[in-house]
Structure 1
Amino acid sequence: MDAQTRGVLFDVDGTLIDSSYFHALAWWEAFRQFEHKVPMSAIHRAVGMGGDKLIAHLLGEDRDESEDAELKATHGAVFGTYWPSLVAFDGARGLVRKCAEAGLAVVLASSARERELRVLRRALDADDAITAATSSSDAEESKPAPDILVAALEAGDLRAEDVVYVGDSVWDVYAASKLDIPTIAVTCGGTSEAELKEAGAAEVYTGPDKLLEAFATSLLGQLAAG
């Protein structure tokens, strides 16, 4: 099998870009504006879900669903104020480029809106190594459903059995497991190693820099070696 038919799918928020806590703060502010008192810790643990599922998860199925669209819009508006502060994690750029140099197709499996994705890609600054990318418009159902990963596979012309997924939340691991894709998890998004392993992560590193250091012996290195 040609190595280029193998690939890596990357979650972006909290995995390559240091944005998870900005998302938590933006959701907290959105809920606050609608007079919902939701602890920041609970919000952070739900970050990684799609916005629709995050709202249902935190406010319950008996909530006033007519607020959902405005809550998501408010979150997006508040999060947008943090765009200038978004930076890539140490090693993120190098990891993406290392994967490409090793012959792996690199696909950003992002659920961000198109405009937001452009901001994230600018912060990552590795477009020369990226094969394809997805956005929220590519998935009918959000994580932990696997739709965005299915879209990423299609975008990269890849098969589930030929890829590894790199993510930072239990929702990433759950989504990938539905397609039998092994997940390499990183704790830099704020989720502990124990939680990620319990969810089913095959490997866990503290961040992209440590995964890059261990590339040769990681699942990524094994995949590239065939």
Structure 2
Amino acid sequence: MNRAALFDVDGTLVDTNHLHVVCWWEALRQGGHDVAMHDIHRAIGLPGEDLLARLLGEHRDTSEDDTLSAAHSTLYGTYFDRLPPLHAAADLLRELDRRGWRVVLVTSATDDELDALRRAVGADDAITATASSEDVTEGKPEPEPLHHALGLADAAARDSVFVGDTVWDMEAGSRAHVACVGLLCGGIPRRDLEEAGARAVYRNPADLLAHVGNSPFADRRRPPDPTA
């Protein structure tokens, strides 16, 4: 009986949400689109096509999508060597690994972005598996990324917890019937995370680590003791 600790990465373990906002704003500006940064921020965490649909409308010229996404990726790539991990992110993953959880990263990032994010977190020794946008056909808020991650961990939803920072994370976890924990470090208000399905909300990884003993992680089933 495995227990999976599923983690979003951008805005949850690495302080990148506002970098994404600036990069999407500049990519959109280059494409002739005037979009407020506040609106972009609320869309962060969606796959690129869904983000553009939310910001530009379903009836936009979709032939621009690849160009806009490529511009964002190029701009964001300039930060790969200095992405800032959130305080205690690595410590949190290692503590959960020590407690017997299978840690799986679940992200809308591409494989190249995920490699840079993993280097930033610096806790590969505690990570069982990773799931990127290239592993699924539908991203968050659809539950497919969570189902894929649970398969990688060989764990049931009822025994697992998903930690994220956006409403899309909370909605995906809820649809996958996984206990959801929200973090405020991505910039989304507590009430929005709770309304989207968060069972508990913490300020950041350090806050969750300090309270992990009475968080939803404490409520999940414990694996049997093989020596018993």
TM normalised by structure 1 equals: 0.95
Structure 2, unaligned stretches of length 5 or more? 224-228
**Where does residue 55 of structure 1 map in the other structure?**
52
2:5 corresponds to which letter in structure 1?
A: V
- Secondary structure of the residue aligned to 1:119 is helix
Partner Cα distance (1:224, 1:91) in 2: 25
**Where does residue 215 of structure 1 map in the other structure?**
212
- Does structure 1 residue 197 correspond to structure 2 residue 189? no
Does the CA-based 8 Å contact 2:46-2:140 persist in structure 1? yes
Does the CA-based 8 Å contact 2:3-2:222 persist in structure 1? no
Q: State which of 127, 130, 133 in structure 1 corresponds to 2:127.
A: 130
Partner Cα distance (1:157, 1:225) in 2: 15
- Secondary structure of the residue aligned to 1:55 is helix
Using the TM superposition, name which of 77-86 and 198-207 deviates more.
77-86
**Post-superposition shift, 1:225?**
4.7
Q: State which of 74, 95, 98 in structure 2 corresponds to 1:98.
A: 95
Q: Give aligned pairs, total.
A: 223
Partner Cα distance (1:34, 1:77) in 2: 14
1:14 corresponds to which letter in structure 2?
A: G
Two-structure CA RMSD over aligned residues (Å) = 1.2
- Secondary structure of the residue aligned to 2:220 is helix
- Does structure 1 residue 150 correspond to structure 2 residue 126? no
Partner Cα distance (2:205, 2:107) in 1: 17
Partner Cα distance (1:48, 1:14) in 2: 9
Partner Cα distance (1:217, 1:138) in 2: 33
Partner Cα distance (1:225, 1:94) in 2: 21
Partner Cα distance (2:139, 2:222) in 1: 32
Does the CA-based 8 Å contact 1:109-1:135 persist in structure 2? yes
**Where does residue 33 of structure 1 map in the other structure?**
30
**Where does residue 226 of structure 2 map in the other structure?**
none
**Post-superposition shift, 1:222?**
2.7
Report the identity percentage: 46
**Where does residue 187 of structure 1 map in the other structure?**
184
- Secondary structure of the residue aligned to 1:131 is strand
Q: Which runs of 4+ in 1 moved over 4 A?
A: none
**Post-superposition shift, 1:180?**
1.3
Structure 1, unaligned stretches of length 5 or more? none
1:25 corresponds to which letter in structure 2?
A: V
Partner Cα distance (2:30, 2:196) in 1: 33
Partner Cα distance (1:88, 1:11) in 2: 13
